[in-house]
Chains A and B, each alone.
Chain A
């Protein structure tokens, strides 16, 4: 674990793996909940957790460097199920990258339990991990100018669902009617870091 100062009131804690980032994130949330950590933002990402709005970052930095982080506790929370029509325009390309017949893509994808590693890009957009590394896919060479809301997509080792229409370079494999972000709802985001997710095939692939 490496702790890097960021400006005057933030720290970036860098770890070696996604699992370690998850464990560190869980531990920092636990400390905040019990009142031993006062911080404005805890932002997990691929290999880091950012702590922003700290009163004494230097002191916390030396504390964290010496700290043992317990493995992430198993989640008691339920799994969020997202119904998907596997009808994306990049299904054939993804099948080719994976080296499987096209009909296998929904089976493999829906057979995987995902976890929201972190959010970003847009409110409610989660970077979901769970697929083994052999299913990594590149981004599209030319990004689309408009990806529709509800598009279920892959890039690198991640799966994501576009909360609203936006430009994007991910490979589109399906569509969902589930609302990922609704600021009038509590909570506004369906997916937060740590949330477990399963995709449930509907339509032809079901």
Chain B
């Protein structure tokens, strides 16, 4: 068995294929999608010598196990977790040589939510609108992994990783999200605006790739009624009628009708992708650059 393919032995709770996503199609109702923790995905790609746009696996909480049919280099990053090769511990956050037919098990996250698995050559499923990302809102891209799925792998590049191991940020004990106000902050009472940036929230277990949901003080609107649907950006903090802020992540809808009180700085979203339910969240108001 020397064909370039990857067999899924244990799919895990939710493992998807992710790359840089498919920006540029929002006007057709197509979400951007892509790896939620972009820097982690980029790093594992670099560790195995892949270009930044190669597709990796994104796990959720409990990892996954795969068996490559040809010899490959693999790197696991993002949420720290035990990694074994045919049952023997191997490095996390570093390139690992995986012989054809060996079983690579990416264990449950010790902290954080999402681990990233890069395989040399990248997962080479057919792209949809230029991307191999699974989009859980609209169902574009490959379905989430199931046991027994076999994915083709791309050809190995000539590039070799220039690093053996790389530091990665620890998942946040407290998630501090810098926000710029608006565009619909005028839909909220002054008390709600104060509460939003001064009170403590927690990450809700209902969070997913579409949005980081929060629990905490409900934000009261200053005006009733509905907002006509308008375009939504990554990091938008939408406030549904229950008053609990939702931070839009990669699979967010392209338009929406609930008012956006503020927008989270793009630099803080990778940490949001790694915040486990119950993590304290603080929205920190900053001035626009």
Which residues of A are in contact with B by a Cβ distance under 8 Å? 4-10, 12, 40-50, 52-53, 58, 118-125, 127, 164, 183, 188-189, 192-193
Contact = CB atoms under 8 A, between A and B. Distances in A.
Contacts of B260: 6
B183 A4 contact: yes
B27 interface: yes
B-side interface mostly: loop
Contacts of A10: 233, 263
Nearest to B141: A183
A121 B29 contact: yes
A123 B140 CA distance: 9
A120 B182 contact: no
Contacts of A164: 139
A40 B24 contact: yes
Contacts of B62: none
Interface size class for chain B? 35 or more
B266 A120 contact: no
A53 B27 CA distance: 14
A56 B254 CA distance: 22
B58 to A, nearest CB: 21
A12 B27 contact: no
Contacts of A120: 29, 229, 253-256
A127 B229 contact: yes
Contact of A188 (B28, B228, B263): B28
A11 B265 CA distance: 15
Contact of B228 (A6, A9, A40, A47): A47
Interface string B268-289: 0000000000000000000011
A46 B27 contact: no
Interface of B: 23-30, 128-129, 138-140, 180, 182-183, 228-233, 235-236, 253-256, 260, 263-266, 288-289
Given A43-B231, A50-B233, A124-B29, A7 B24 contact: no
A40 B23 CA distance: 7
Interface centre among B129, B233, B263, B265, by most chain A C-beta atoms within 10 angstroms, is B233
Given A8-B263, A48-B228, 7 more contacts: A5-B182, A7-B266, A44-B27, A119-B254, A123-B25, A123-B138, A164-B139
B269 to A, nearest CB: 11
B154 to A, nearest CB: 20
Nearest to B32: A41
A120 B256 CA distance: 8
Contact of B30 (A5, A12, A47, A123): A123
A6 B183 contact: yes
A119 B27 contact: yes
Given A5-B288, A122-B29, A188-B129, A45 B182 contact: no
B228 to A, nearest CB: 3
A5 B28 contact: no
B130 to A, nearest CB: 10
A188 B128 CA distance: 10
Contacts of B139: 164
A58 B289 CA distance: 9
Nearest to B31: A123
A16 to B, nearest CB: 11
Nearest to A164: B139
A45 B230 contact: yes
26 contacts: A5-B180, A5-B288, A7-B180, A8-B288, A9-B266, A10-B233, A12-B230, A12-B231, A41-B24, A41-B27, A43-B231, A43-B255, A47-B228, A48-B230, A48-B231, A50-B26, A50-B233, A53-B23, A118-B229, A118-B255, A119-B27, A119-B255, A120-B29, A123-B30, A123-B140, A192-B28
